[in-house]
Structure 1
Amino acid sequence: MAKVINSVYVHLLSPSYKEIIRNWLKEDVPSFDYGGFVVGEAQETAILYGKSTGVLAGLPFFEEVFNQLDCRVEWDLKEGDHFEPISEVARVYGKSCDILLGERTALNILARCSGIATRSRKCIELKEKFGFQGIIAGTRKTTPGFRIVEKYGMLVGGADTHRMDLSSMIMLKDNHIWSQGSVTRAVERARKVGGFSLRVEVECRSEQEADEAIEAGADIIMLDNMKGDNLKQTASILKQRWKGKRTFLIESSGGITEENITEYFSPDIDILSMGSLSQGVPHIDYSLKIKK
């Protein structure tokens, strides 16, 4: 019998994720489970197959679906493992009606989470191959109601989750700055309410805006949508100009993908944030088959 392998990240999760999964099950079965009536209550074993190449991620969510249905999951792989098709990933034990009730919800979660982990892992491998010392991070471009799973997938793949929500770190973008009339006033207003415990990041469209943000005390300077030599030269100039005077990080964001990420690698850039870690990500295909 396969050994149960728990996720190393499960204790990061708030207990509230269990209620989220309970609601997803309610959404899928709002009244009658007609298929469950057909198959009945015979005790069965179902095998989870990985049908495409990928990184396994989302074990706590998959397990919780079946825990709520009084089924038991045993894993053949551990979270973060890379697998090839057709790999036996896990086994689910329980009543046939309960296994099939949870099947699609559990597979959807695992497919999405694993897809994000797989893309994140590929970007981390490129970082290591080219010796980039900075951070590869996601963004807040996540699916409403599904953020915890998507951020979790980034973590399993080795990427940084960036800020989790609007209450985590203070990011001042163009609309915030325009509302206050200047970068300086926007940073001052943010500091007034954020206190010492929250970092302040400012989106900058030019070297001049970056200088103003640094002077105002921003912790992170986002060089938004800068590319190529302009990006690298601006980052280098800012680091040299403020060396020994201010401490800050430089983040590059906007249009960074798995295909072009190496073009952004620079010793003067500390963070590469990528909306593409969670947007347009191919899912990893899984299937759950009851043993005959």
Structure 2
Amino acid sequence: MSTAAEQTDLLPGQNLAHLLPPSWKQVIPTWFAEDTPSYDWAGFVVGEEEQDAILWGKSGGVVAGVPFFDEIFKYVDCTVEWLVPEGTVIPDGAKTKVAVVRGKARDLLLGERVGLNLLARASGIATVSRRFRDLAREEGWGGVIAGTRKTTPGFRIVEKYGMIVGGIDPHRHDLSSMVMLKDNHIWAHGSITNAVKAVRRVAGFSLLVNVECQDFAEADEAIAAGANIVMLDNLVGAELHGAAKQLKDKWRGKREFLIETSGGIVEGSLTSRVGPDIDILSTSAVHQGTPHVDFSLKIQPRKK
């Protein structure tokens, strides 16, 4: 794997932390309230002497979650000096110095578990996201790998951020980000055509409309009704690629739309779902059940 800038397609000087809204910092006190709801018994022992602590990367993966880690330790009056940039791949099988955290011993230990849990989760998502994207590129496919909205409640911004650091598309961030009409929406409204027309009247021109379809006929109806994206859900093999090609051939020069494949996509089945007529591959496998990257924070022994 190459450098962080290449992996995330950043231009020089760009910083992913600039994507984050100011409001996300409001969650930091709630994380500490959860982890230390009452007395810090062990913190009483260590006192307030200024210390350095090394952040070690202990398993291979992509480092992600830097702005969150920084803010966690800022909350307890500590500073973080990063020795590797976000997006760096740390090697497996050896300990890697990732950062130095400085502050009072008691404060370092207050932030330790909150910071490590955050970093481990974000880095795990970035690592799997990077692997999925690289697999697709190795196949010569230039489409979009995207995550899904099946994220952890209250932790979505971290998980979506991990996907971005890993180099994939985070997909929609919430129900307001894009119109997605799934099977329940269609069944509740009566038909794909009626549902698309109804939402178009209120959503305006600025929102894309994505319609979940079970086969060629449903996708064809959705495109005719004005959908921007048709999601061929749980279609595989010849049925998937045949339907995608048929749709592109039928509507070429008449309508602009994208074809998304989704449903049950894991690392082992990814390459079978990409193809010349597929534009987007969306999967929750990049963030649900992903292994964490192992980090530890070790206060340096006092010099005698």
Alignment match, 1:39: 46
Offset at 1:26? 1.3
State the alpha-carbon separation in 1 of the partners of residues 39 and 176 from structure 2: 40
Aligned AA (2:47):
G
Question: Which of 97, 101, 104 matches 1:88?
Answer: 97
Instruction: State the secondary structure of the residue aligned to 1:23.
Output: helix
State the alpha-carbon separation in 1 of the partners of residues 238 and 119 from structure 2: 39
Alignment match, 2:78: 71
Instruction: State the secondary structure of the residue aligned to 1:277.
Output: coil
Q: What pairs with 1:125-136 in structure 2 (closer than 5 Å)?
A: 125-136=134-145
Aligned AA (1:18):
K
State the alpha-carbon separation in 2 of the partners of residues 8 and 117 from structure 1: 16
State the alpha-carbon separation in 2 of the partners of residues 265 and 222 from structure 1: 13
Q: What pairs with 1:102-251 in structure 2 (closer than 5 Å)?
A: 102-251=111-260
State the alpha-carbon separation in 2 of the partners of residues 28 and 71 from structure 1: 17
Instruction: Say if 1:7 and 1:60, in contact at 8 Å, map to a contact too.
Output: no
Alignment match, 2:65: 58
State the alpha-carbon separation in 2 of the partners of residues 15 and 27 from structure 1: 21
Deviations 1:85-104 (A, max 9, x none): 31000000000000000000
Instruction: Say if 1:51 and 1:87, in contact at 8 Å, map to a contact too.
Output: yes
Instruction: State the secondary structure of the residue aligned to 1:94.
Output: strand
Instruction: State the TM-score, normalizing by the size of structure 1.
Output: 0.97
| 1:7/1:119 CA distance change after superposition, 3 Å | farther
Instruction: State the secondary structure of the residue aligned to 2:268.
Output: coil
State the alpha-carbon separation in 2 of the partners of residues 18 and 241 from structure 1: 49
Residue 232 (structure 2) pairs with residue 261 (structure 1): no
Alignment match, 2:8: none
Which 4+ stretches in 1 moved above 2 angstroms?
none
Offset at 1:260? 1.4
Instruction: Say if 1:7 and 1:79, in contact at 8 Å, map to a contact too.
Output: no
Offset at 1:7? 8.3
Deviations 1:170-219 (A, max 9, x none): 00000000011100010011111111110000000011111110000000
State the alpha-carbon separation in 1 of the partners of residues 47 and 107 from structure 2: 9
Question: Which of 13, 30, 35 matches 1:28?
Answer: 35
Alignment match, 2:290: 281
Q: CA RMSD in A?
A: 1.0
Offset at 1:17? 1.5
Identity of aligned residues (%): 59
Instruction: State the TM-score, normalizing by the size of structure 2.
Output: 0.93
Offset at 1:143? 0.3
State the alpha-carbon separation in 1 of the partners of residues 269 and 213 from structure 2: 21
Aligned AA (2:69):
F
State the alpha-carbon separation in 1 of the partners of residues 245 and 21 from structure 2: 40
Instruction: Say if 1:48 and 1:91, in contact at 8 Å, map to a contact too.
Output: yes
Aligned AA (1:114):
S
Alignment match, 1:3: none
Instruction: Say if 1:8 and 1:79, in contact at 8 Å, map to a contact too.
Output: no
